[in-house]
């Protein structure tokens, strides 16, 4: 989980929890003081939780650095072939590029 995804996840989870807390407060299930304190602590706790999970997932990364670099090269090649495929008008060249594209997809 990248830092951007972790931040987004923490924000989304906090927003949902705070919305639920607001609904509970309006229906009288939670007193005002608890709701105000929770408004401060929920984002903090969720951020810490998501940070901890992202650190654990980072350590249990399924790919080595070399594999990650190879996958990035393959993805870049796929992007380049797709761009060439859009520009090419010859049917023979399209077949060649589609074969290369299929080969790269199989390598992912």
Q: What is the pLDDT of residue 53?
A: 84
How many residues are listed for the chain in this entry?
108
H or E element in which residue 11 lies: helix 3-26
Model confidence at 1: pLDDT above 60: no
**pTM, full prediction:** 0.47
Give the DSSP letter string of 21-72.
HHHHHHTTSS-HHHHHHHHHHHHHHHHHHHHHHHHHHHHT-SS-HHHHHHHH
Model confidence at 94: pLDDT above 70: yes
Residue ranges of domains in the chain: 3-59, 65-107
Q: Please compute the mean of the pLDDT values over residues 25-33 and round it to a whole number.
A: 90
Percent of the chain with pLDDT over 90: 22
């Amino acid at each position: 989980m990248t830092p951007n995804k972790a931040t987004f996840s923490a924000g989304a989870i906090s927003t949902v929890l705070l919305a639920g807390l607001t609904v509970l407060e309006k229906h009288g299930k939670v007193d005002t003081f608890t709701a105000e304190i929770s408004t401060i602590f929920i984002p903090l706790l969720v951020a810490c939780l998501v940070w901890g999970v992202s650190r654990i997932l980072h350590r249990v990364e399924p790919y080595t650095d070399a594999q990650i670099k190879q996958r990035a090269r393959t993805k870049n090649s796929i992007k380049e072939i797709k761009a060439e495929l859009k520009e090419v008008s010859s049917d023979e060249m399209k077949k060649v590029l589609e074969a290369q594209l299929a080969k790269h997809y199989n390598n992912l």
